[in-house]
Amino acid sequence: MTDSPERSVVVASTLIMLACLVLGLLAGGMLVIGVAFVSFWKSLSPSDFQTWFASYSHLIGRLMIPLGAGSVAATAAALVSCWSGPATRRAWLLVAALSAIGVMVTYPVFFAGTNEAFVRGGLSDSTVRSLLDRWAA
């Protein structure tokens, strides 16, 4: 059974809206972390920060990792569904997909190791401050 052109347009439009929604949620989550959480974390003593991070960071990961993966999946699906459409749309969806992939690549490259060090605890005050400053940069 072949898809009608109208159905293809509906599927593509739905995937684009889904990609926008998930990318918006990911960007909002990153903004909350960057503005609210980092400010809060920097206000804590290094030992209190490590205690807080060990207790609650898994909740942030439970939200942000699926949002990141969903962003990659949604933008890739939208890109595939719109591939035969206008070049401008395809280009913007490609930029969105590559951006989502870039965000996801930063997690294992930098954040995963740093987060694990914070969760393990036992870091010196200067190490915590240095890692947190680097993490927040």
Residue among 9, 14, 22 at smallest CA distance from 96:
22
Which pLDDT belongs to residue 70? 97
Q: How confident is the model at residue 37 (pLDDT cuts 50, 70, 90)?
A: very high
Q: How confident is the model at residue 8 (pLDDT cuts 50, 70, 90)?
A: confident
The answer, yes or no, to whether residue 1 has pLDDT greater than 60, is no
DSSP 85: S
Instruction: Answer whether 100's CB lies under 8 Å from 49's CB.
Output: no
The answer, yes or no, to whether residue 67 has pLDDT greater than 80, is yes
Q: What is the rounded average pLDDT of the residues 80-104?
A: 94
Q: Which residue has the tokens 């294992």?
A: 108
Rounded CA-CA distance 112/72 in Å is 19
Domain boundaries defined on the chain? 5-136
Tell me the average pLDDT of the chain. 92
Question: How many angstroms separate the most distant Cα atoms in the chain?
Answer: 64
The answer, yes or no, to whether residue 43 has pLDDT greater than 60, is yes
Question: What's the whole-model pTM score?
Answer: 0.86
